[in-house]
Structure 1
Amino acid sequence: MILSSGPGSTRLCRKVADSLSLSEESVTAVASLFGGGATVPFIARYRKEATGSLDEVAIASVRDALIRIKQVDDRRGTILSSLRERKILTADLQNKLLSADTVAEIEDIYLPFRPKRQTRASVARDRGLEPLAAVLRMQDPRLSPSVAAATFLSDAVPTAANALAGARDILAEEISESADVRGMIRGIFAGSAHLSSDVIKGKAEDASVYAGYFAWDELVTRAASHRILAVMRGEREGVLRLHLAPPEDAVLKSLHTQVVTGRGEASAEVASAATDAYRRLILPSLEREFFNTVKERADTEAIAVFADNLRHLLLAAPAGEKRVLAIDPGYRTGCKLVCLDATGNVVETGVIYPQTNPSAARATLMQLSKTHAVDIIAVGNGTAGRETEKFVRGITFGRPLPVLLTSECGASVYSASAEARREFPDLDITLRGAVSIGRRVQDPLAELVKIDPKSLGVGQYQHDVDQNRLAAKLADIVEQVVNSVGVNLNTASASLLSYVSGIGPSLAEKIVVYRTTNGPFKNRNELLNVPGIGPKTFEQAAGFLRIIGGDNPLDMTGVHPERYPLVERMAKDLGVSAGRLAGAPELLKRIEPEKYVSENCGLVTITDIIDELGNPGRDIRITGEEEFSFDQSVHELTDLTEGMVLPGVVTNVTAFGAFVDVGVHQDGLVHISELAVRFVAHPSEVVSVGKQVRVMILSVDHARSRVSMSIKRVL
């Protein structure tokens, strides 16, 4: 997004800074960097002095706020232009529009001037009833409305009652179009509106899943996002009827106080018009508006949960360059086997039938593990996964050989994808799935980026939220994780490279083609030889790409090439080559950071450079998590009993709790109240996707295949 300079952009940045509680200088710097084509990861990593060390989340928030506020300004500009063209823009109206901060406020101000289709009020005006409405509007306590109405009779208005009804229609429209009135009622909606649902007649028996919402009512400010999304889904499916409004008595009391100024018969007519304005015109409009607002809030919370889960999933620790025997379990068609070398290449495939021919299956596994010096056996956790895991663990391989039950989520999506067909045109689709299982043990990030995040099973009501917002947020998360981890330029797939700052799918493919044609990259500068990569792209991408064993040891670090001259100065001052500084803590301790501070490079960046030099090739994903295995005494739901304590793995985190896999083909729910002995505002405070936990079984509902668990009771 490119922002023009000048007073407009200054005001925009000031608004964003105020809305996010950030300094105007930081926001202005971020806006300027975006204007120059910089990406979120690049700004966060390599422009800390300019932004005041804002992280990726804050920078992305600035970007989104800039876009959102610019959209408000764009709508304001469109309306101002329309009013000017129609020659009805006054100085007062212009000032009101310029002072409005939201699209809703702008639309309220514009509403009386918006070109209209025929309405009840316009019909009444056409019948000459505007003067009667004006008389009633004055609310003279001495006025007799029926007497006043008698002078407006015509063929189209045969009675005084008809005349008064038309005048009330005019008043109702005027009241409904008042920005002050709408603002007042909008405030009541924001603080007091209730979201309620009831079941549509005849639908109760066929939709028991919504039984908890057949007669549900909750203050909308307190309604959890998952409940909002649930009732909205129920409405879409034709099961529930929804209502969203504050108590009517409170609204009408405030409305009458604002528009009714007397106690006579004319004031009674105005009060009647005000009631009609609310029920017929304002309520439907604000109900739609607040449904959108509530949905947007629920979407935001659900998307944030999904994004956090995805981040943890992508940051799972890699096994590294290990030789893997991957098994995609199956009863009828057998277990598909794939042996991968340390870099993920397929070296052998096969099929075994543990159920019908266990001795042959055992012999095949022993032979493959020996032939290919397998380091790890990865078993998919789908159908027959636990049985296959048990079978493999029962084999004596003659040496310790870890057996990992590995998530299959998304493996079938990858195996049927165009990318999988390009990678393995000659492999059966099920064998491609086994490849995905094995590779996600070697490097989860490199493999999972090939799969649509929505297929990874870590979302909450993911199909109910705004799909464009969801896709954009998840793409942000993948981009942030990929760039924070760094990418090996000589081994990364096009999918992984496409998320590197500044590259994208097209350039990623060109990098792979260049690498295939010319051999491994020897240094970062060689990137400039790839068609389509110019100085700007190089600037954005180079620091996130790693070259192991290349010409320059600095290329395996996160030090940006633009800072190589600075590193060379540091090295020269120490009497060594720049490459010697990488991984040499004794030399780095002798560097005096303050000595190298300049107008273009501050202390924060220098400290980052020294830290990167001290940890060349560091992988931030390495954790101390131990090898995990399920309790071998449970394999099916029927094996669970209340009070049983089992090891498990968190598979999904939602706003209301966490789902845990204990190896029975059905994840159990640990409600938020059962996560910890202390109060937990959100489950992400204490658990995350992939975390190993111990749980107590609280209840098992075999009819609905539901398991309730507790973590706090085994702490």
Structure 2
Amino acid sequence: MLVNQLFNYIISNTNLPSEGIKNTVSLLNEDCTIPFISRYRKERTGNLDEVQIGEIVKYKEQFEALEKRKTSILKAIEEQGELTPELQKKINDTSDLITLEDLYLPFKKKRKTKAETARKNGLEPLAKIIMTQNVSGLSSIALKYIKGEITSEEEALEGARHIISEWINERTDVRNSLRRQLERFAVIATKVVKSKADDEKAQKFRDYFDWNESLSRIPSHRLLAILRATSEGFLRMKIEIDDEKALYKIEERIIRSNNECAAQIKLAIEDAYKRLLFPALSNETLGIAKEKADQTAIEVFAKNLKQLLLGSPLGEKRVLAIDPGIRSGCKIVCLDAQGGLKHNETIYPHPPKNDATGAIKKISTLVEAYKIDAIAIGNGTASRETETIIRRIHFNRDIQVFVVSEAGASIYSASKIARDEFPNYDVTVRGSVSIGRRLQDPLAELVKIDAKSIGVGQYQHDVDQSKLKSSLDITVELCVNAVGVNINTASTSLLSYVSGIGPKLAENIVAYRDDQGAFTSRNNIKKVPRLGGKAFEQAAGFLRIKEAKNPLDDSSVHPESYSVVQQMAKDQSVAVSELIGNKTILQKIKAEQYCNENIGLPTLKDILKELEKPGLDIREEAKVFTFNQNIKTITDLHEGQLLPGIVNNITNFGCFVDVGIKESGLIHISNLADAYVSDVSEHVHLHQQIIVKVLDVDVARKRIQLKLYK
């Protein structure tokens, strides 16, 4: 019964095929991961992709949370002796949390309320009499309740109204009516806190000093900005609707007469609305709007993070990395092709020492000594000045020079991961190593940093942190598994995101590798302590072993399908090694001939595609980029200039572009194309190299407005 309810719940929220949902849920219950299911169980899911499987996971978790809450509520009501078969059915049939909480509201334990005090004073019978709306002489009836704490007719009527107010507040139809009013017509209004109006930190919220907007239409970034400004004490915010209309809607549901009772009920409605209903439901509506804003911001962040993690790697090349600085000097490290630290020191090409000649000589010497292939320069303070000096050097070989984002490098350099990797070096050296490794392989290096610290997205510290972490963890996991991992060189951090592995098994793999030497086959992986059959099944296809005896161990072909590949090779009268990469032979193979009860056409097509180019990196190659060397500060910009730039952040309202100065420029969504743009990511992606046109420069506010040129 409950299983069917789960399937129906997911179907109603996703419109995915029922058989695919059923099998996906079954696989999830078997502890299969999203990357594994989407890559190696396509026959069972009906070829659902990772996004669709992620939706199933989300609604499965929502349903389970709802059922857990139902169980808790039923138990609480039963303990009160108030659970009837009708109420139990209503609760069991509920499919959303808000309705469920409304049903529970009358039975919820409350702190001391005005209604509870009135009941203790014996006024509930009077409240019931008033609600009949068919008595006369209400004053004389109220006099009968003057006793104990109640000393007057007005106190008796007031107490009765408090009870009626609570009844009205607990009515589901009344709450839903007000919810609809709030959903359709609520306005969010803000005013600046006058004493903070001139605060420098408040200026970034200046647009909202006197603002109002429909809550249902406000963009996520604007709502999050307003909420942040409110929490920081710069704004006062409130939710508003037409109170008279809202009260009328409630009155027409309850008042059926035009007598003394109706007058008392009208007062009770006004009290319920002002004291109970509106505060609770306006907060609920704002909370729902915040949830939607959070979700939008989280989706933007996850999309940006994916683009960043799948950024172009330079590959296994020897790198000299520079963390630029002025007074403290530029920290230099030399890395081998695998990212190993070979040398570090500091040069002082900038003020106050101005030893550019010595710096040039030192870098030239290091490039020769360590056979450097590329130079990585961090994009922080003194980046442009350092790049200018580097480009003055005449090397004896072709040296590529890259400017690399430093975002989060300081977080990594002070982390336990960095201390464990480089216990004998300080944070400046670790930071430089991170910059160099980011050029070699952005994914492998960035997984070591808390994703929130990477600096892409909008208002990441204001959204629901548990939902943000969950979304970003899934994003990192999908990226790592999409690329695949060399088990013999991967860090613990990178391995921990491989399907089925996790932090503890990752530590065990690295410890086993350090003790026993490099893995020579995927079968060797089974020898890692505590890595059982299930973990091996989930992980094996995503782990690569270079120069293995079996060439399939360096591909995304899962070991469970090796026999099929061997049969294909046998049928073509070649060895497996001769089959791999041989497009002529592979094109002769008819995938349909190898279908059986364990392997279907989708997986077979994936296998043949992989055999054409085994272990192919899905990421683009890194490309050198050069900023306009004449642009040093914001004062060098003027309207109409065309400049090269790199997209360094994407939001719902546009994208930010690094044009080689401290301040990033904004391409508003309206300036991304001549036609209407609904999704910024359809026009640009993170770290994309573009040409922009300068539209406006506000030096005082350090704002640059740009237009996408090409």
TM-score range for the pair, normalised by the shorter chain length? over 0.9
TM alignment of 1:565-644, pairs within 5 A = 565-623=563-621, 626-644=623-641
Does structure 2 retain, via aligned residues, the 8 Å contact 1:488–1:547? Answer: yes
Look up the SS of the partner of 1:652 in the other structure.
strand
* Residues 542-561 of structure 1 mapped to structure 2, 5 A cutoff: 542-561=540-559
SS in structure 2 opposite 1:122?
A: helix
1:238 aligns with 2:208: no
> Which residue matches 2:188?
195
| Separation of aligned partners in 2, 1:359 and 1:242 | 58
2:707 corresponds to: 710
User: 1:384: how far off?
Assistant: 0.6
Which one of the candidate residues 126, 142, 148 is aligned to 1:149?
Answer: 142
- Secondary structure of the structure 2 residue equivalent to 1:152: coil
TM-fit CA distance, 1:110? 1.5
CA contact (8 A) 2:121 2:148 kept: no
User: What's 2:167 paired with?
Assistant: 174
Native 8 Å contact 1:245 1:283 kept in 2: no
Give the letter aligned to residue 604 of structure 1: P
Cα distance change of structure 1 residues 638 and 596 upon mapping to structure 2, 3 Å threshold: same
Task: Specify the SS of the correspondent of 2:144.
Answer: helix
Partner amino acid, structure 2, of 1:195: I
User: Is the 2:329–2:349 Cα contact (8 Å) retained in structure 1?
Assistant: yes
The TM-score with structure 1 as length reference comes to 0.96
Identity of aligned residues (%): 47
Counterpart in the other structure of 1:455: 453
Q: CA deviation at 1:310?
A: 0.5
Give SS of 1:196's match: strand
Cα deviation 1:657-695 (Å, max 9, x = unaligned): 111000111111111111111111131221121111111
Aligned residues: 705
1:158 pairs with 151, 155, 175, which one? 151
Task: Identify which range, 641-650 or 202-211, moves more after superposition.
Answer: 202-211
Gaps of 5+ in 2: none
- Measured in 1, the distance between the counterparts of 2:495 and 2:115 equals 61
Alpha-carbon deviation of 1:157?
3.0
Find the counterpart in structure 1 of residue 115 from structure 2: 121
**8 Å Cα contact 1:226-1:298 kept in structure 2:** yes
Q: Is the 8 A contact 2:322 2:331 kept in 1?
A: yes
Displacement, 1:245?
A: 4.1
Contact 2:477–2:499 (Cα < 8 Å) also in 1: yes
Residue 76 in 1 paired to residue 70 in 2?
yes
TM-fit CA distance, 1:346: 2.0
Which residue is 1:683 aligned to? 680
SS at match of 2:223: helix
Query: How far apart, in 1, do the equivalents of 2:399 and 2:314 lie?
Result: 13
**Deviation of the 1:639 alpha carbon:** 1.5
Amino acid at match of 2:515: T
**Separation in 1 of the partners of 2:475 and 2:253?**
48
Q: 2:274 matched to 1:276?
A: no
Residue 345 of structure 1, CA deviation: 1.6
Q: Which amino acid aligns with 2:53?
A: I
Choose from 491, 500, 503 the match for 1:502: 500
Give me the CA root mean square deviation. Answer: 1.6
Please tell me the residue identity of whatever aligns with 1:12.
L
- Residue of 320, 325, 333 corresponding to 2:328: 333
How far apart, CA to CA, are the structure 2 residues paired with 1:183 and 1:388? 63
Query: How far apart in 2 are the matches of 1:422 and 1:436?
Result: 14
Check conservation: 1:176, 1:282, Cα contact below 8 A: yes
State yes or no: 1:10 paired with 2:7: no
TM-score (norm 2): 0.96
Q: How does 1:655-670 map to 2 (within 5 A)?
A: 655-670=652-667
**What is the CA deviation profile of residues 221-252 of structure 1, one whole-angstrom value per residue up to 9, with x for unaligned ones?**
10111111111112211222221243212211
Partner Cα separation in structure 2 for residue 60 and residue 321 of structure 1: 33
Q: Distance in 1 between matches of 2:596 and 2:483?
A: 28
CA contact (8 A) 2:313 2:442 kept: yes
**What is the Cα deviation at residue 539 of structure 1?**
0.3
Q: Is 1:474 aligned to residue 472 of structure 2? A: yes
Deviation of 1:41 after TM superposition, in Å, equals 0.8
Q: Are the equivalent residues in 2 in contact too, given 1:144–1:266 (CA < 8 A)?
A: no
Q: Deviations over 1:455-478 (max 9, x none)?
A: 111121111111121111111111
Match of 2:650 in 1: 653
Q: Which runs of 5+ in 1 are unaligned?
A: 1-6
> Distance between the aligned counterparts of 1:199 and 1:253, measured in 2?
32
Query: Residue 135 of structure 1 aligns to which amino acid in structure 2?
Result: I
Amino acid at match of 1:522: T
CA distance in 2, matches of 1:309, 1:531: 36
Partner amino acid, structure 1, of 2:276: L
CA distance in 2, matches of 1:208, 1:144: 62
The 2-side partners of 1:199 and 1:336 are apart by 45
- Please name the residue that 2:126 is paired with: 132
Deviations 1:316-347 (A, max 9, x none): 11111211111111222222221222221222
Q: Provide the C-alpha distance between the structure 1 equivalents of 2:335 and 2:110, rounded to a whole number of angstroms.
A: 68
